[in-house]
Amino acid sequence: MSTEQLGIAATSAVTIRSMLAEAERSLHAAGIEQPALEAAWLLEHVLHLSPLMQRVKAERPVPALDYARVLALVARRANREPLQYLLGTQEFCGREFRVTSAVLIPRPESVLLVREAIRRCGQNPAAIVVDVGTGSGCLAVSVASALPDARVLAIDASADALAVAQANMEQHGLDARIECMQGDLLAPLAECGFVSQIDVIVSNPPYIPDLDLVTLQPEVRCFEPHLALAGGPDGMDVHRRLLQQAPVYLKSDGVLLLEVGLGQAAAVCREAEESGWFRTYDVLRDEGGIDRVVCFEKKEEGRNPQSGQPSIQTATSRPSS
């Protein structure tokens, strides 16, 4: 907005009521499903007034600079940039997490990973838990918060994602308890002597089939990290790599918990069983009834029928965030 336009806005005394109406119209025209609610949230972000107080003070003038800031946010949202990136936060497991375009926005389905990791550590409070592809760090923070004696490792290939994760760990007072490691999938563990030492590995890997990416909502397709979404031709490339690498680092009876996409659970379970290293002990459904998390336990005497040994990978080849 130009200085002249700001001057006009100031002299015309745009009120909170008219600003809300203008924002709602723009968002509605852009196809946003809840334009009134999102308009109120954007105003709250700029004016620091709750939606209730916006109604109470509806006739209060909006300063010109605040008006310009709101318009800029509304334009970005109308362009389908995710609201969470505009506000900079997303709630997960009852906590607020900082999010940027460097990380996948936490989804409620991933709470299943946290709950199962906590349940499996119930008799082992000093467990070692690894979060692979930590992104915002929401899984690592949630697990560490619930298990104060556990050792939690958070891995991501993206330095930008790890910076966001570390900021969230500091925000929740857990930066001294969670170790951040940069590298591809489980590769950083090979350099730190964790062979057969890990109790639980959790991961929300990319699982969208490559050809399905174009069908995603523009908020996801155009703004969230591609490498956190694209899972290869059938969406299970990273799952296969984790199934291959995890036996090296898991203890006997250690568990691997993986989030999966629609229709993938049976195939991932089959490949885990056929590897010779795992038994499937549960498949967890999300609130929509979709098989969302597959739960594997490492067999005490596991064996890979094809190679006889699981793979230890030390070279970075593909990021996961």
Domain that holds residue 142: 101-298
Does 260 have pLDDT greater than 70?
A: yes
Q: Which residue has the higher pLDDT, 49 or 1?
A: 49
Tokens 């229709």 belong to 263
Yes or no: say if 57 and 109 are a contact pair by the CB < 8 Å rule.
no
CATH number for the domain spanning 192: value is 3.40.50.150
CATH of the domain at 17: 1.10.8
Specify if 21 maps to a domain: yes
pLDDT on residue 191: 84
94 within some domain: no
How many Cβ atoms sit within 10 Å of the Cβ of residue 145?
A: 18
Query: What pLDDT score was predicted for residue 179?
Result: 97
The chain-wide mean pLDDT, for the chain, equals 91
pLDDT of residue 193: 87
pLDDT for 306 equals 41
Proportion of the chain above pLDDT 70, given as a percent: 90
149 has pLDDT over 70: yes
Query: Span 271-276, mean pLDDT?
Result: 96
pLDDT at position 215 over 90: yes
- Over residues 242-268, the mean pLDDT reads 97
What are 169-190's pLDDT values in tens digits?
A: 999 999 999 999 999 999 999 9
Instruction: Note whether residue 321 is domain-resident.
Output: no
Pairing of strands 178-182, 198-203: unpaired
Mean pLDDT to the nearest integer, 152-168: 98
pLDDT at position 12: 57
Tell whether 271 and 199 lie within a shared domain.
Answer: yes
Residue 61 in this model has a pLDDT that exceeds 60: yes
| Global pTM value | 0.88
